[in-house]
């Protein structure tokens, strides 16, 4: 791949994930038009710059991005827009960089959740966690107690921000 093609792919995926992060931050939604447009643009750019190899890299990146976040969606921890955004970014990044971006996004999201739990405004979740732990230790069975209204863990987190951060980290590492 030529350096100019690589720059175009990098700048386009950065624009995609930053736009999604801003929209998600404001509305807690990632528009389908943005993710679908990103997928089509990425596929066209990959195919145009790299032919069949680019198309294969795009599809592999899509599959890795999808596979990394679909379990979180299945467990109700992320939204469908987050899955589509990571898959869309994967089209630009290819499979290997998408793996780094996705794992980095998961780590950033986990760190954000921890910081929100420790320092967020709202009712403290630690008593609820203690009750779940006591139940597990006493009965040997896990019990889930959902967060109460007003508890900090009941708040939604704009996960596109974590995806954008993970993508930036992956691109940085890919240039090293």
Distance CA 101, CA 108 (A): 10
Cα distance from N-terminal residue to C-terminal residue, the chain: 17
CA-angle at 10, arms to 169 and 78, nearest 5°: 55
Distance CA 94, CA 171 (A): 11
pTM, entire model:
0.85
Express each pLDDT in 124-164 by its tens digit: 777 888 889 999 999 999 888 888 777 766 677 899 999 99
Distance CA 82, CA 160 (A): 6
Taking a C-beta distance cutoff of 8 angstroms, is the pair 103, 165 a contact?
Answer: no
Residue that the structure tokens 């089509």 belong to: 40
Express each pLDDT in 69-116 by its tens digit: 999 999 888 999 999 999 999 999 999 999 999 999 999 999 998 888
Alpha-helix runs per DSSP H in 75-159 = 80-119, 126-139
Q: Across-strand partners of 151? A: 123
């Amino acid at each position: 791949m030529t350096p100019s093609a690589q720059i175009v792919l990098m700048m386009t995926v950065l624009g995609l994930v930053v736009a999604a992060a801003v929209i998600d931050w404001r509305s807690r939604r990632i528009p389908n038009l943005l993710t679908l447009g990103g997928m089509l643009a990425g596929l066209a750019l990959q195919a145009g710059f790299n032919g069949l190899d680019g198309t294969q890299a795009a599809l592999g990146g899509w599959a890795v991005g999808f596979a990394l976040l679909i379990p979180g969606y299945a467990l109700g921890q992320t939204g469908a827009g987050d899955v589509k955004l990571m898959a869309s970014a994967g089209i630009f990044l290819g499979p290997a960089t998408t793996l780094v971006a996705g794992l980095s996004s998961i780590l950033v999201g986990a760190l954000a959740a921890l910081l929100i739990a420790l320092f967020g405004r709202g009712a403290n979740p630690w008593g609820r966690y203690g009750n779940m732990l006591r139940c597990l230790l006493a009965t040997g069975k896990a019990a889930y107690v959902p967060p109460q209204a007003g508890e900090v863990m009941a708040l939604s987190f704009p996960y596109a921000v974590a995806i954008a951060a993970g993508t930036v980290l992956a691109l940085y590492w890919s240039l090293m």
